[in-house]
Amino acid sequence: MKINSKDFRVAGKKVELNEWPTIVKPFCKSKKEYQELLGEHVKKLSSLQQLQYASNRYALLMIFQGMDSAGKDGAIRHVMSGVNPQGCQVFGFKQPSAEELEHDFLWRTTRCLPERGRIGIFNRSYYEEVLVVRVHPELLRNEGLSEELRDEKDFWEKRYRSIADFEEHLHRNGTRMVKVFLHLSKDEQRRRFLDRIDEPDKNWKFSLADIHERKYWKDYVRAFEACLSATSTHHAPWYVVPADDKENARLIVSQIVLDALSELKMAYPKTTPKRRLELKSIRKLLTK
């Protein structure tokens, strides 16, 4: 079954998450078929990433956001499993450090942007500053902002504008972006939390903080809706990926990344006449 990544792309309209499905019809009829299709995607990704690394013209930044247990770690692990580690960097962003709080809200992630020729993956990102912080505005007091700035009526709109301007700057300078929101239902989150409690190997994934944040589900939905609506642009689009079915979600994400890399104008560096003569000389030395 053909996966059309554009079906999941946020395109110029206000996002209301209740209109976006958290589950769609499976793309594969069996586990074996799923593994084969994902394997094909991973193989193509590996080839395209090698080309990206060799051409050294573009960076690709992938951002993953979603509710707790939406499957961010699993999607990153499975989709990027075949990519050369030298060409891929993964960063996770949780509670900011004291040093990070002394800077503007984009500083800590800017330091981790991928180089040309590489893929950078952000497991959570600067978007936490308009998601978690919007749901818990008391966190702003830790950021050293004056009351005058915190009390501005258009405070969040200005943060969205800062993000959009930043992403446009990255695009102008050769960084392409894929932003994935893993859209999980509240019922599926409950099931995954219960699995983390019931299965000893998953206990480490669970904390009381997860249950505490679940109380703010509706607030997070509103924050995500506002964020996706304000920051999905032509050059840095958001994709709302149904996340209740992990296998389907991984196939969709891998197709999105494949399409993003395929759209880049990449080619292996051409050998110059001077370089060919040099290589011929080296060949003679090696065949003596």
Instruction: Provide the pLDDT confidence category of residue 64 given band limits of 50, 70 and 90.
Output: very high
Which residue in 76, 112, 108, 64 sits closest to 91, CA to CA?
112
Burial 1-27 (b: 16+ CB within 10 A, else e): eebebeebebeeeebebeebebebeeb
Would you say residue 21 has pLDDT above 90? yes
Average pLDDT of span 78-92: 91
Report residue 280's pLDDT band, with 50, 70 and 90 as the boundaries: confident
Reported as a single tens digit per residue, the pLDDT across 132-172 is 999 999 999 999 898 888 888 999 999 999 999 999 999 99
- 58 and 175 Cβ atoms separated by less than 8 Å: yes
Mean pLDDT of 32-43: 96
Residues 10-37: what's their mean pLDDT?
95
Q: Which two tokens stand for residue 239?
A: 């994709």
Confidence at 34, pLDDT banded by 50, 70, 90: very high
Average predicted confidence (pLDDT) for the chain: 94
Kindly report the backbone phi and psi dihedral angles of residue 28, in degrees, each rounded to the nearest multiple of 5, phi listed first.
-125, 150
Q: Which residue has the higher pLDDT, 272 or 108?
A: 108
pTM: 0.92
* 185 CB-near residues (< 8 Å, 6+ apart): 22, 23, 244
- Report pLDDT for 122: 98
At 271, the pLDDT band (50, 70, 90 cuts) reads confident
Closest to 143 in 3D by CA, of 101, 98, 200 = 101
Q: How far apart are CA 228 and CA 60, in angstroms?
A: 20
pLDDT at 284 > cutoff 90: no
Domains of the chain by residue range: 5-287
- Summarised one tens digit per residue, pLDDT across range 200-259 is 888 777 787 888 899 999 999 999 999 999 999 999 999 999 999 999 999 999 999 999
Helices of type H across the chain? 31-55, 72-79, 98-101, 107-110, 132-135, 147-150, 155-172, 186-198, 208-214, 217-231, 246-262, 273-287
In DSSP notation, 161-217 reads HHHHHHHHHHHHTTEEEEEEEEE--HHHHHHHHHHHHHSGGGGGG--HHHHHHHTTH
In the structure, what pLDDT confidence band is assigned to residue 279 with cuts at 50, 70 and 90? confident
CATH domain 5-287 topology: Rossmann fold (3.40.50)
What is the band of 69 on the pLDDT scale with cuts at 50, 70, 90?
very high
Residue type, 184: L
Distance CA 266, CA 49 (A): 10
Backbone angles phi, psi at 271, to 5 degrees: -80, 130
pLDDT at 274 over 90: no
Cα 143 to Cα 155: distance, rounded to the nearest angstrom: 14
Q: Given a cut of 90, is residue 109 above it in pLDDT?
A: yes
Q: Check: CB of residue 171 under 8 Å from CB of residue 177.
A: yes
Write the CA distances from 136 to 146, 173, 220, integer angstroms.
Answer: 17, 34, 10
Q: What is the pLDDT of residue 9?
A: 97
Report pLDDT for 207: 80
